[in-house]
């Protein structure tokens, strides 16, 4: 179904943006089937959320119900704004509301994570810190490496030097990325462990 939507006009025939900025979609013959496909997945998610297995701890029941509320509200607003109004009433004025409704779902997940420990916050913070530093280092290294290699490589054409320098920098980055990530993770773990030791 995803391939039909992406590579054919059977689900989404065309997209037009008017001079007024209004977005108009012409739907394909398979759009109702695509809608059923989406509703089936949303329904399955809601079933799991509101009818959890009895053997799960009570805390997990609360977590699932909260996430289920987020899914339900977001799906309702999204389907109303992006399907019911445009497909049945040809009203495309509120399609952005459906996209913005995902903020509610993210807020519910954030609340459930912080208050009811849906996710391990320490793991999330650790991963965020590691990848933020990794991206910053990668961009900085990439820029410095290109400047250095552009002057170093023995090529007469400046364009060829730039392309060659970029290629070499990307290769170096590909081979060092994983090692740098592991080093950063170990560094963050040591810093966190050190803070725990001092707090005790």
- Angstrom distance (rounded) from CA 82 to CA 72: 15
Residue 200 has pLDDT above 60, yes or no: no
The torsion angles phi and psi of 57, rounded to 5 degrees, stand at -60, 155
- The band of 148, judged by pLDDT with boundaries at 50, 70 and 90, is confident
- The band of 43, judged by pLDDT with boundaries at 50, 70 and 90, is very high
- Strands (E) located in the chain: 12-17, 23-27
pLDDT in tens, 155-172: 667 667 667 777 777 787
Residue 124 has pLDDT above 90, yes or no: no
- Angstrom distance (rounded) from CA 65 to CA 152: 60
Closest by CA position to 181, among listed 144, 138, 151: 138
Is this structure's pTM higher than 0.75? Answer: no
pLDDT in the model for residue 53: 86
Measured CA to CA in angstroms, residue 20 lies from 23, 87, 92, 107, 130 at distances of 9, 20, 12, 32, 44
- The token pair at 75 is 């799906």
Measured CA to CA in angstroms, residue 186 lies from 90, 127, 174, 183 at distances of 55, 12, 20, 5
Average pLDDT over residues 55-64: 91
Q: In the beta sheet, which residues pair with residue 14?
A: 26
* Stated length of the chain: 200
Cα diameter, the chain: 72
């Amino acid at each position: 179904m995803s391939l039909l939507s992406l590579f054919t006009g059977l689900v989404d025939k065309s997209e037009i943006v008017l001079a007024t900025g209004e977005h108009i979609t012409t739907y394909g013959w398979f759009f109702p089937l695509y809608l059923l496909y989406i509703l089936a997945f949303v329904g399955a998610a809601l079933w799991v959320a509101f009818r959890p297995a009895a053997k799960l701890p009570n805390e997990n029941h609360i977590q699932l119900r909260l996430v289920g509320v987020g899914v339900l509200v977001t799906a309702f607003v999204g389907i109303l704004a992006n399907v019911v109004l445009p497909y049945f009433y040809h009203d495309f004025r509120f399609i952005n509301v459906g996209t913005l409704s995902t903020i509610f779902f993210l807020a519910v997940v954030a609340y459930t994570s912080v208050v009811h420990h849906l996710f391990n916050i320490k793991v999330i913070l650790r991963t965020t810190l590691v990848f933020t530093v990794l991206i910053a280092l990668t961009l900085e290294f990439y820029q410095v490496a290109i400047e250095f290699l552009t002057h170093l490589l023995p090529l007469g054409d400046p364009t060829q030097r730039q392309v060659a320098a970029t290629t070499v920098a990307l290769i170096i980055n590909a081979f060092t990325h994983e090692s740098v990530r592991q080093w950063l993770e170990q560094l963050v773990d040591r810093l966190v462990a050190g803070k725990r030791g001092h707090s005790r």
